[in-house]
A = this chain, B = another copy of it.
């Protein structure tokens, strides 16, 4: 584990014994990540404030467009009889346009926030943590013989509950297992994803994706099971014929 992966480490402590120093480091890093998460909440609110100011300017622009168009439409000919009016109208849609486009794109505010997020990234969980946590949970599932439903409901430790998992979360577990050709876990987690989809009014994952993976996992698992059965039957046959 070249990079500190505190969450993975702390999850693993519940399956294997780790020395205190490692747990301490992991906890410190996790605490730091949570503090960065809290800072991000503040940064997001600042971003919203800047965006509200930008939208106020957009509304002022809309007002000025409307006011101008309505005044000019009363008598268009008389309006352009003063050529400065004509110039100011033309200017709005030529030299002023890049500024208007920039105002509407809102790029500056969003880019500043996204840059901040980029700066925080080393202190926040990453893809490696994601795979590590899922793998650790699958190992815990086998060790303590937990059903996918127990884990997904967050009720498998009665004293320390977690929020329930969505169909998409279960799908993520199934897809992870599928990636590493763990057909058994792929099957039970895609099945759990499918069960949860029935209860979701807004599907967090498309049913067809779940069914695709489910069919594939089912086929692979049964094939593996059949192969095992045939292999054992052969072995028994061989043993019997040699008996």
A residues bordering B, Cβ < 8 Å?
7-8, 10-11, 14, 23, 27, 30-31, 33-35, 37-38, 40-42, 44-45, 47-48, 51-52, 55, 58-59, 61-63, 65-66, 68-70, 72-73, 76-78, 80-95, 101, 104-106, 110, 113-114, 117, 124-127, 129-130, 133-134, 136-137, 140, 151-152, 154, 157, 160-163, 165, 169, 172
Contact = CB atoms under 8 A, between A and B. Distances in A.
21 contacts: A10-B77, A10-B86, A14-B83, A31-B76, A38-B65, A40-B62, A41-B62, A41-B63, A41-B66, A45-B59, A51-B106, A52-B55, A81-B157, A82-B157, A83-B136, A83-B137, A87-B165, A88-B163, A92-B125, A101-B117, A104-B110
Residue from the set A14, A41, A90, A161 with the largest chain B CB neighbour count within 10 Å:
A90
* Count of chain copies: 2
Contact of A69 (B35, B73, B130, B160): B35
B87 A126 contact: no
A7 B160 contact: no
Given A114-B104, A165-B84, A41 B65 contact: yes
